[in-house]
Structure formats: structure tokens, C-alpha cells
Amino acid sequence: MTAALPSTIDDITPEWLTMALGTRLPGVEVVDVAVDEVLRGTATKVFVQPTYGDGDPPPGAPGSVCVKGAFEDNAALMAATGIYEREAVFYRDLAPGLPPTGTAAWFADADSRTRLGVVVLDDLRREATFCRATSPLSIDEVAAGLELIARYHGATYAGPVLHEHPALHSYVTRDNPSGHYFATMDAERVAHFLALPLRSAAIPMELHRPDLVIDLFWRWVDQSQEGPWVLTHGDDHIGNWFRRHDGTLGLVDWQTICRMRPAHDVAYFITSALDVDDRRAAERDLLRSYHGCLTAAGVQPATFDELWLDYRRHMAFGLMAWLTSLEWMNPEPIHAAAVGRFAHAVLDLEVASALGRAPG
């Protein structure tokens, strides 16, 4: 860690921002900071306008930045999950060696003792709009997003960093914190979420069975513990993508980086981002295009048939993740739109069969 990290918004001082921006702009001086907007959440985003020593921003310096970190009362509790540390680690240690994924960090650092992390990013508010599950992407846009995913997958495919870097591990196992969290989603809890009006209406009646949803999820966990591995975003649903005004897509919120099989990011993105009919019409072609991008990157991926099987299996994760997403995490129409897409995919792709579950 290079310097003390801000733990409150008041800690984002001119002196601290001078240090942070100075990691990429040596000699820059910030003499004042003005907080323009605060978006509170699991990780709070503080939009700051710096005033520089010479008045106007020096060449290359940002006029506004987003300082993202753990600035709420629940910081220690959420830090224990590792989300703040992992995002800072991604921007500090991993992103500089990867193809661009959307936006670079002016500064990123983490405290391994407290597991707190802070990143300073470009302010995208004026140059991009963030995507939402209630407004699905086009097939062409998803194809472009898959090219971005294939670039960072191809750069890390079966690479040593996946086992050497302490921040990278499997997303869900029966014994890790994510697995312990999902283990709390027993039949009673799943039934609660299935009864929420918008989610209930979005999910076909065949899947209004807590025992089935839970069984498919844990079968997916048990069948996802072997490689090939790639660096995985882990949470690349449509809401973590942005569209610049020139139409290009970028991916943010790298709080759940891990090593997983390639199909994880692919299935989660395609299914969350496409209308059900578009997904049905285009998913095989999209997977073939992604598979071709990996090959073009110089790696030897699994066969298309193996990727297709893995893609089908991963729908069990998407169904459980969006069905049991806590009510405060998103507006309910977003939960319903996303879980409905995964529920239809589970049925369309015969996911129970793909996971080895007998009919019934």
C-alpha cells in the first residue's frame, strides 16, 4: 500500500488526491476538491472536481473523477467479503497487463490487513450511459461485448497468474464465503423470492420449485471446479456495462474477479443482456464467434461442443443469483427482467439434463 486510503468522503482531500493522481501524473498539484455527486451503495461512488495549482487542468489531467470505495457504516462488514480489495487489485495489478476493458484507473490501491480498497476512475457520466436489464442490448452489441470478454479471457487463458495471484480463486465452492452465502438460500428462502410478485410472474411455473432451483445450482457448483480457467469478471451482467456516445461498450465493477471456466462470463452476459427471443435466435452464433476470438488470440480453447455444454450448465447460476438477489440491491423490475431471462434459458436449454438431473 502506497499511502493511507480514505475511509470517509471527508478523507478525499486535496493532499490525498494530489498523491493519487500523481501516480500517473508526476508533479500534478490539487489545491481544492469539490464533491459534485455521491452515489451511495455497497461501494460508494464520489464524483469529485479537482482544482489544480495552475487553475486549468494540466495536459492529460482529468477535469472530474470518480473515487470509489467503502465510505459507508457497513464498510468493515462488506470488506470482509473482499470486494473492495479485489477491485483495487484488478486495476492496480492486473488491468495494466490486459487489453482495455472500458476505463483505466488513475489510482488503485488496497490494504491487505483491512481488505479495504479505493480506485479513482474517469467520470463517465457525461460521455456514456449505463445499461439496464429493462433495456436489453441488440445482438450486434452483445457480439461486440463478447469480443471484449474474449480479449481478457484470451490474455489469461490457463495462465499462471490465475493461481499465483492471491486475489484470484474460484467464485463459488461449497467451502468458500460465496458458497456459504448461497447455502443460506434454503427452500424457505427460495420460496420467499419465488413469491415476490414481479419475479413470480417472470418465471415459468415449471421452475416454481425451490428444490429444483437449489439442486441445479449445487450441481453447477460441483461441475465447475476444474479448468480450463480464465480471469473472470464474475458479475458481468448487463447492468455492469456502459455504452459510450460513439456506441462502444465498456465493462466496470470488477469487485468479484476470480478464476472460472470461460462460459461463466459468456453465459451471464449473453443471457442477462438479450431479450429471450434474441437469445434463442443468436446464442449459438454468438458462442461460435466468441470461440473464434479465443482461437485468434492464440490459445487452444475447449471444443465448441464443450463450450456449449458449459454454457447451458451456467444458466443454473444465473437463475439462482438473480432469483435470490436481495430486494435492496436493484429496483424490482430489474430483478424480474433478469431472472425471467435466465429462467427461460434454463428450460430452453434443458439445463437439468445438462447437469445430469433425472427428469421430474
The residues with which 35 forms a beta bridge, in sequence order, are: 48
Cis peptide, bond prior to residue 99, ω within 30 of zero: no
What residue numbers bound the domain in which 27 lies? 9-122
Mean of the per-residue pLDDT values of the chain: 95
Task: Give alpha helix (H) positions in the chain.
Answer: 14-22, 75-79, 83-89, 139-156, 161-164, 177-183, 187-194, 197-202, 210-222, 263-273, 276-296, 304-323, 332-348, 351-354
Q: Of 122, 150, 172, which residue sits at a domain end? A: 122
> How many domains does one find in the chain?
2
* Phi and psi, residue 244, nearest 5°: -70, 165
252 and 281, same domain (yes or no): yes
What's the CATH code of the domain at 39? Answer: 3.30.200
Which DSSP category does 224 fall into?
Answer: S
Same structural domain for residues 193 and 63? no
Q: Clarify whether residues 195 and 297 are in a common domain.
A: yes
Q: Across the strands, what pairs with 242?
A: 130, 250
Per-residue pLDDT, 3: 66
pLDDT for the residue 2: 54
4, part of any domain: no
- C-alpha dihedral sign at 292, 295, 301, 302: positive
Q: In whole angstroms, what is the distance from residue 342 CA to residue 130 CA?
A: 21
* Residue 275 belongs to a domain: yes
132 part of a folded domain: yes
Residues 6+ apart with CB under 8 A from 195: none
One-letter amino acid for residue 343 of the chain: A
> What is the H or E stretch that residue 38 is in?
strand 30-39
Per-block mean pLDDT, blocks of 10 residues, the chain (360 long) = 82 97 95 95 93 88 96 81 92 96 94 93 94 98 98 96 88 92 97 98 98 98 95 97 96 96 98 98 98 95 96 98 93 97 98 94
> Cell numbers of 91, please?
486495476
- Quick: pLDDT tens for 292-327: 999 999 999 999 999 999 999 999 999 999 999 999
